[in-house]
Amino acid sequence: MSAHNEKPMKLKLHVWRQRSPQQPGEMKEYALDNVDAHMSFLEMMDVLNEQLANNGEEPVAFDHDCREGICGMCSMVINGQPHGGHKGVTTCQLHMRHFSDGDDIYVEPWRAKAFPVLRDLVVDRSSLDRIIQAGGYVSVNTGGTPDANALPIPKTEADQAMDAAACIGCGACVAACKNSSAMLFMSAKVSHLGHLPQGQAERYSRVKAMVQQMDAEGFGNCSNLSQCEAACPKEISSKVIAELNRDFLKGSWRGE
């Protein structure tokens, strides 16, 4: 069937509404009958908000920015799965063709103690920023860009650093984990720097500082079930968690 002849879908949306962190929230039901299969999920939410605004109701608050799978802002749990549960996609890259006419779709915010709900589907993820501030950086003088390019780095190390650096900090790993652990996020940041020569000076103190901050923020422990890897839109391997654990133990033995 031609895309131009496809019939718009009718959907029943169940969306979490919460006016503020201090007020209780609840699921609200909305009907949409003009959803194009080629829309992205966020475009569908735009249609919902336009309908709500036209009816004099409050639009649904949700995070978004680039809408290209780069920024990690579009954090939604869709039918119980972060970003909708499709491999390697963020919510903004999820298209309505993955749903069927007449479907019930449940849309909720990330659920974690460290991610308090600000309004509707928007949560405060500044806890991830504070983990980075605790140690996810290089403070030694590494020189300018020509100096960095002159440092010999084995391709396998560079590839592993780049794979870990793909993390966009969306928090899907936290939302997927039954303990709301931030281990995949934190391990990706640690692995990224740990595979580069510039990151060696603070390699072990970095890990200890970031783990301490993660615990202080209220994130849970790693469950070792790899839900985080399955939910990660950048498909970061949970092997980075093993690398973090190794460096944490080495740092503890060395007293750094």
Three-class SS state of 9: strand
**pLDDT for residue 254:** 77
The answer to whether the beta carbons of residues 244 and 207 sit under 8 Å apart is yes
Query: Model-level pTM?
Result: 0.90
Task: Look up the CATH superfamily of 9-119.
Answer: Beta-grasp domain (3.10.20.30)
Query: What CATH number matches the domain at 126-253, 3.30.70.60, 3.30.70.100, 1.10.1060.10, 3.20.20.140?
Result: 1.10.1060.10
Range list of H helices, the chain: 41-54, 126-135, 145-150, 155-165, 172-176, 183-194, 203-217, 227-231, 239-254
Confidence band (pLDDT; 50, 70, 90) for 138? confident
Query: Which of these, 85, 113, 92, 62, lies nearest to 232 by C-alpha position?
Result: 85
* Mean pLDDT value across residues 38-61: 97
Residue 115 pLDDT more than 70?
yes
Q: Report the alpha-carbon distance of residue 77 to residue 182 in Å, rounded.
A: 17
Instruction: Give dist(CA 205, CA 31) in Å, integer.
Output: 53
